[in-house]
Every structure is written in C-alpha cells, then in structure tokens.
C-alpha cells in the first residue's frame, strides 16, 4: 500500500513538471521610465546629501586646508575638539537655545493656532501674519531684529522705556545676547509650528467637541481632555523638528551677533564656520560636525522614545 501511494505521488509530480519542460520563460520587461523619474530625486539627494556626509566623515580624520591632499591623522581632531573650551561653550549655548526656543515656538504655535481655529473675524489676517516670518530669509530676519533690539534706538527698548524699564543690551551683553537671538529665532520659526498645529486642530472631529460641550465641559476641560490628546502626534513632531533646527542654529547668530560678545551667543555650526572659513582648518571643522551629528542623532532618538512612551 505504501509503495502504491509513492507511485501515485511520483505520477502527480511528473504530471505537474511535464508542462514546464521545454517551455521558455521570458523575463518581464524592465520599466525604465520609473527609474528615470526616481533619478530626478535620488541623484541630487545622493550628490548633495549623502556624498558630502561621507566625505565630511572622511575629512574629520585628516588634516586638510582645502588645498593639497588630506593627511590622515586618525582621532587627533576629535581629541582636540573634546579638549577645546570653545567647542564646549558652543554646545552649552545651543542647550540654552533649545531650552528657550523649542518651548517658545511650541507653546506660541499652539496658542496662535487655537486663536485662528476659533474663526474670529480677523482670523484670516492673523493666519497670514503668523506664518509670514517663516517665508522670509534669515538675513532679513536678522537685520530687522538687530534694529528692533538695538540698545539705544531699538523699537523694543523704546517701548520698554514707556513703562519705566531701562535700556537692555539685547545683543551687546554677555548675559543678554543669547536671549536676543532666541527671541528672533522664535519669531522666525513660529510659522511652521503654527501651520502644522492648525491643520491638526481642523482634523479633530467636531462631534467630540460638541459632545464634550453637551456634557458640560468648559473650554479648559475641552482643551485638556479632547484637543490636546488629539494633538500629541503633531506636537511631538513639532518639538522634534524644532529641536533639530535649534541644534543647527547658525544664520541668526551670524547676522545678529557673529557669536559674540566673547562667544556668549555662539553655536556649534557658527564655531565650525569660524574654524573652517576663518582659520582654514577643514579637518577640525569636520570633526566638530561629526560630534554635532552624533548629538543630534542621540537627542532625537531619546526624545522620540520619551514622547512615544508618554502617548
């Protein structure tokens, strides 16, 4: 009986394999047009993003002054960077920038989005005014705020003088320069956070809000138990994007204070610019860039993990 079943199985296998014998299988033609369309993004991304990162990582292990051949020196640039007090000062400053700018942008973006979402008569104008700074170049933003924060003739100090507050050296004092740059950065970065949060607000089902109102929930209760839980994903994204942007702050620093006074408003990228362009030490600057990359990567991973756990 066993041999008979084996014979039947062999016959079935032969019958299934027979039609395929001697039949030519042509491969499906490759649709090259798809690769052409992808190449319009992939090639520039590879050329201007991936390759510079790889080249910068290589240069970080060399001594190179852009003229001549890079000389391999191993970890010497990284050792020098860790022992450089100006590097530590720049990283300390960027921590303070993050503590001021990230909460400022997130909270103000939420407040402005809640205001516009109410549909008041001037909501359309407010929407334009809140987003407008985001499309202005950093140079223009910096120059405008240099005028606003000028110690003697600045608009802000003139307003403060009307209520009896003396002139504040926003950009010329070691104690105030970082705060002055942070104010301008908040005003500049606010638009993107505002738009993202407003879009998330408009996606909240109206039925939930109406049900909460019918149950007697006041504005604060609706905000706490209905609105904010639905905004957690977008708020997480806003915080992540703004933190990365703040760790990479450069334009405002360069235009408004050039890192001064005494490095009190410097940032890692501004110091990298000084080392590379002014001192012509491209290997050392690349090593600082790699350290900043590691910091940004680590902070982003930790932040995403913490925010995910709290949701």
| C-alpha Rg value of the chain to the nearest Å | 29
Could you give the number of structural domains in the chain? Answer: 1
CA distances from 280 to 102, 272, 303 (A): 33, 10, 35
Report, as an integer, the average pLDDT of 253-282: 92
Q: Where does residue 109 rank: exposed (0-12), middle (13-18), buried (19+ CB within 10 A)?
A: buried
Query: What mean pLDDT value characterizes the chain?
Result: 85
* Any domain includes 20: no
* Any domain includes 265: yes
Report, as an integer, the average pLDDT of 18-40: 67
Report, as an integer, the average pLDDT of 50-55: 90
pLDDT greater than 70 at residue 16: no
Residue-wise pLDDT for 149-206, tens only, equals 998 888 999 999 998 888 899 999 999 999 999 999 999 999 999 999 999 998 888 8
CA distance 165 to 1: 106
- Domain interval for residue 303: 76-204+230-310
* Any domain includes 26: no
* Any domain includes 57: no
- For residue 69 the two structure tokens come to 């051949």
Residue-wise pLDDT for 290-301, tens only, equals 999 999 888 888
Residue-wise pLDDT for 75-86, tens only, equals 999 999 999 999
pLDDT of residue 26: 58
* Any domain includes 64: no
Are 266 and 259 contacting, i.e. CB atoms less than 8 angstroms apart? yes
According to DSSP, the residues that pair with 62 across neighbouring strands are 72
DSSP 8-state code for residue 30: P
* Any domain includes 8: no
Query: Helix H segments across 166-267?
Result: 177-202, 206-214, 219-222, 228-247, 251-256
Residue-wise pLDDT for 264-273, tens only, equals 999 999 999 9
pLDDT greater than 80 at residue 252: yes
Confidence grade of residue 310 (pLDDT, cut at 50, 70, 90): low
Domain containing residue 110: CATH number? 1.10.3720.10
Q: What's the pTM?
A: 0.82
* Any domain includes 151: yes
* Any domain includes 16: no
Q: Cis omega before residue 261 (within 30°)?
A: yes
- For residue 49 the two structure tokens come to 């993003």
């Amino acid at each position: 009986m066993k041999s008979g079943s084996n014979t039947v199985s062999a016959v079935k296998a032969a019958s299934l394999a027979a039609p395929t014998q001697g039949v030519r299988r042509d491969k499906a033609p490759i649709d090259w047009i798809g690769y052409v369309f992808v190449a319009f993004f992939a090639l520039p991304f590879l050329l201007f993003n991936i390759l510079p990162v790889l080249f910068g990582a290589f240069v970080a292990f060399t001594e190179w002054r852009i003229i001549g051949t890079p000389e391999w020196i191993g970890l010497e640039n990284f050792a020098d960077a860790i022992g450089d007090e100006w590097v530590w000062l720049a990283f300390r400053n960027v921590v303070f920038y993050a503590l001021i700018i990230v909460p400022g942008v997130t909270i103000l973006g939420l407040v402005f989005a809640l205001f516009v979402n109410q549909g008041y008569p001037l909501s359309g104008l407010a929407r334009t005014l809140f987003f407008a700074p985001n499309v202005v170049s950093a140079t223009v933003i910096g120059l405008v705020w240099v005028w606003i924060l000028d110690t003697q003739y600045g608009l802000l100090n003139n307003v403060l003088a009307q209520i009896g507050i003396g002139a504040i050296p926003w950009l010329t004092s070691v104690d105030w320069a970082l705060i002055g740059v942070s104010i301008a950065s908040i005003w500049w970065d606010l638009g993107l956070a505002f738009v993202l949060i407003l879009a998330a607000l408009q996606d909240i089902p109206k039925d939930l809000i109406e049900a909460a109102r019918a149950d007697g929930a006041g504005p604060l209760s609706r905000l706490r138990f209905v609105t904010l839980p639905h905004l957690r994903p977008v708020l997480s994204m806003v915080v992540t994007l703004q933190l990365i942007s703040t760790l990479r702050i450069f334009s405002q620093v360069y235009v408004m204070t050039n890192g001064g006074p005494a490095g009190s408003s410097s940032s890692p990228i501004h110091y990298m610019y000084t080392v590379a362009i002014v001192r012509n030490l491209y290997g050392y600057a690349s090593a600082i860039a790699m350290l900043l990359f590691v910091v940004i990567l680590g902070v982003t991973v930790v932040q995403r993990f913490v925010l995910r756990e709290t949701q």
